[in-house]
Amino acid sequence: MDRKILFVCLGNICRSPAAEGIMQKLVQKWGIESLEIDSAGVLGYHAGELPDSRMRTHALKRGYVLSHRSRQVTMNDFYNFDMIIGMDDRNIDDLRDLAPSPEEWKKIHRMTDYCRKTTADHVPDPYYGGSQGFDHVLDLLEDACEGLLTFLTQDS
Protein backbone atom coordinates (compact mmCIF):
# COMPACT_ATOMS: atom_id res chain seq x y z
CA MET A 1 0.00 0.00 0.00
CA ASP A 2 2.79 2.47 0.94
CA ARG A 3 0.66 5.56 1.36
CA LYS A 4 1.15 8.81 3.25
CA ILE A 5 -1.93 10.55 4.64
CA LEU A 6 -2.16 14.02 6.17
CA PHE A 7 -5.26 15.01 8.15
CA VAL A 8 -5.94 18.76 8.23
CA CYS A 9 -8.20 21.04 10.26
CA LEU A 10 -7.97 24.71 11.17
CA GLY A 11 -5.52 24.76 14.09
CA ASN A 12 -4.44 21.11 14.39
CA ILE A 13 -5.55 20.78 18.01
CA CYS A 14 -8.94 19.00 17.83
CA ARG A 15 -10.14 17.24 14.71
CA SER A 16 -7.01 16.42 12.73
CA PRO A 17 -4.92 15.10 15.65
CA ALA A 18 -7.95 13.00 16.68
CA ALA A 19 -8.18 11.59 13.14
CA GLU A 20 -4.45 10.87 13.26
CA GLY A 21 -4.76 9.05 16.60
CA ILE A 22 -7.79 7.03 15.51
CA MET A 23 -6.16 6.05 12.22
CA GLN A 24 -2.92 5.04 13.96
CA LYS A 25 -4.85 2.74 16.28
CA LEU A 26 -6.82 1.23 13.39
CA VAL A 27 -3.67 0.68 11.34
CA GLN A 28 -2.09 -1.10 14.30
CA LYS A 29 -5.25 -3.17 14.89
CA TRP A 30 -5.45 -4.17 11.21
CA GLY A 31 -1.71 -4.96 11.08
CA ILE A 32 -0.91 -2.49 8.31
CA GLU A 33 2.69 -1.30 8.32
CA SER A 34 2.96 0.65 5.08
CA LEU A 35 0.85 3.67 5.98
CA GLU A 36 2.35 6.92 7.24
CA ILE A 37 -0.06 9.19 9.11
CA ASP A 38 0.33 12.81 10.21
CA SER A 39 -1.81 15.86 10.87
CA ALA A 40 -1.47 19.61 10.46
CA GLY A 41 -3.44 22.83 10.62
CA VAL A 42 -4.20 25.39 7.96
CA LEU A 43 -3.15 28.02 10.49
CA GLY A 44 -0.10 27.81 12.71
CA TYR A 45 -1.22 29.72 15.78
CA HIS A 46 -1.12 26.56 17.94
CA ALA A 47 2.24 25.34 16.59
CA GLY A 48 4.05 23.11 19.07
CA GLU A 49 1.01 22.62 21.33
CA LEU A 50 -0.55 19.31 22.29
CA PRO A 51 -4.15 18.71 21.17
CA ASP A 52 -6.88 20.49 23.12
CA SER A 53 -7.15 18.96 26.60
CA ARG A 54 -10.87 18.28 26.16
CA MET A 55 -10.22 16.33 22.95
CA ARG A 56 -7.42 14.39 24.63
CA THR A 57 -9.73 13.51 27.54
CA HIS A 58 -12.60 12.35 25.31
CA ALA A 59 -10.23 10.43 23.03
CA LEU A 60 -8.53 8.71 25.97
CA LYS A 61 -11.92 7.40 27.15
CA ARG A 62 -12.03 5.53 23.83
CA GLY A 63 -8.44 4.32 24.05
CA TYR A 64 -6.76 6.92 21.85
CA VAL A 65 -3.66 8.70 23.12
CA LEU A 66 -3.25 12.02 21.30
CA SER A 67 0.34 13.17 21.68
CA HIS A 68 0.87 14.95 18.34
CA ARG A 69 2.33 18.46 18.50
CA SER A 70 0.47 20.95 16.35
CA ARG A 71 2.07 22.17 13.15
CA GLN A 72 1.02 24.18 10.13
CA VAL A 73 0.60 22.75 6.64
CA THR A 74 3.69 23.41 4.50
CA MET A 75 4.28 23.48 0.76
CA ASN A 76 6.30 20.27 1.09
CA ASP A 77 3.23 18.47 2.43
CA PHE A 78 1.70 18.64 -1.03
CA TYR A 79 4.71 16.78 -2.42
CA ASN A 80 5.27 14.39 0.50
CA PHE A 81 1.72 13.10 1.06
CA ASP A 82 -0.48 11.02 -1.23
CA MET A 83 -3.72 12.16 0.39
CA ILE A 84 -4.47 15.39 2.24
CA ILE A 85 -7.79 15.12 4.03
CA GLY A 86 -9.65 18.22 5.20
CA MET A 87 -12.36 18.23 7.85
CA ASP A 88 -14.70 20.83 6.30
CA ASP A 89 -15.21 22.99 3.21
CA ARG A 90 -13.18 25.85 4.65
CA ASN A 91 -10.21 23.50 5.15
CA ILE A 92 -10.65 22.17 1.60
CA ASP A 93 -10.75 25.70 0.14
CA ASP A 94 -7.72 26.77 2.19
CA LEU A 95 -5.80 23.67 1.09
CA ARG A 96 -6.57 24.42 -2.55
CA ASP A 97 -5.32 27.97 -2.03
CA LEU A 98 -2.12 26.66 -0.41
CA ALA A 99 -1.45 23.99 -3.04
CA PRO A 100 1.53 24.80 -5.27
CA SER A 101 -0.55 24.05 -8.38
CA PRO A 102 -3.98 22.69 -9.39
CA GLU A 103 -2.27 19.32 -10.00
CA GLU A 104 -2.03 18.79 -6.22
CA TRP A 105 -5.78 19.38 -5.81
CA LYS A 106 -6.21 15.69 -6.73
CA LYS A 107 -4.68 14.81 -3.37
CA ILE A 108 -7.21 16.84 -1.38
CA HIS A 109 -10.21 14.95 -0.01
CA ARG A 110 -13.05 15.55 2.46
CA MET A 111 -12.97 13.41 5.60
CA THR A 112 -16.70 12.73 5.66
CA ASP A 113 -16.58 11.28 2.13
CA TYR A 114 -15.31 8.12 3.81
CA CYS A 115 -18.10 7.83 6.38
CA ARG A 116 -19.98 4.54 6.06
CA LYS A 117 -22.52 4.66 8.89
CA THR A 118 -23.11 8.39 9.25
CA THR A 119 -24.30 10.95 6.75
CA ALA A 120 -22.37 14.19 7.21
CA ASP A 121 -20.89 16.80 4.92
CA HIS A 122 -18.21 17.96 7.36
CA VAL A 123 -16.58 17.25 10.70
CA PRO A 124 -17.66 20.18 12.90
CA ASP A 125 -15.12 22.04 14.99
CA PRO A 126 -15.89 21.21 18.64
CA TYR A 127 -13.59 23.90 20.06
CA TYR A 128 -16.28 26.37 21.14
CA GLY A 129 -18.93 23.80 22.00
CA GLY A 130 -19.65 21.53 24.90
CA SER A 131 -18.63 18.02 25.80
CA GLN A 132 -21.07 16.34 23.41
CA GLY A 133 -19.36 18.07 20.47
CA PHE A 134 -16.12 16.22 21.12
CA ASP A 135 -17.92 12.87 21.30
CA HIS A 136 -19.79 13.64 18.07
CA VAL A 137 -16.51 14.48 16.32
CA LEU A 138 -14.93 11.25 17.56
CA ASP A 139 -17.96 9.27 16.33
CA LEU A 140 -17.62 10.83 12.87
CA LEU A 141 -13.87 10.33 12.75
CA GLU A 142 -14.07 6.69 13.84
CA ASP A 143 -16.57 6.03 11.06
CA ALA A 144 -14.58 7.96 8.43
CA CYS A 145 -11.21 6.49 9.40
CA GLU A 146 -12.59 2.97 9.18
CA GLY A 147 -14.12 3.79 5.80
CA LEU A 148 -10.87 5.34 4.58
CA LEU A 149 -8.85 2.33 5.67
CA THR A 150 -11.32 -0.01 3.98
CA PHE A 151 -11.06 2.10 0.81
CA LEU A 152 -7.25 2.02 0.92
CA THR A 153 -6.98 -1.72 1.52
CA GLN A 154 -9.45 -2.49 -1.29
CA ASP A 155 -7.53 -0.10 -3.54
CA SER A 156 -4.21 -1.93 -3.11
Point out the catalytic residue in the list 15, 38, 56, 88.
15
Residue 32 and residue 153 in contact, taking contact as beta carbons nearer than 8 Å: yes
Dihedral of the CA atoms 48, 123, 136, 52 (nearest 10)?
10
Point out the catalytic residue in the list 38, 125, 143, 145.
125
The question of whether 155 is a catalytic residue gets the answer no
Determine if residue 44 is left, alpha or beta; phi over 0 gives left, psi from -120 to 50 gives alpha, anything else beta: alpha
The amino acid at 59: A
The question of whether 139 is a catalytic residue gets the answer no
Point out the catalytic residue in the list 9, 14, 115, 145.
9
The question of whether 125 is a catalytic residue gets the answer yes
Catalytic residues: 9, 15, 125
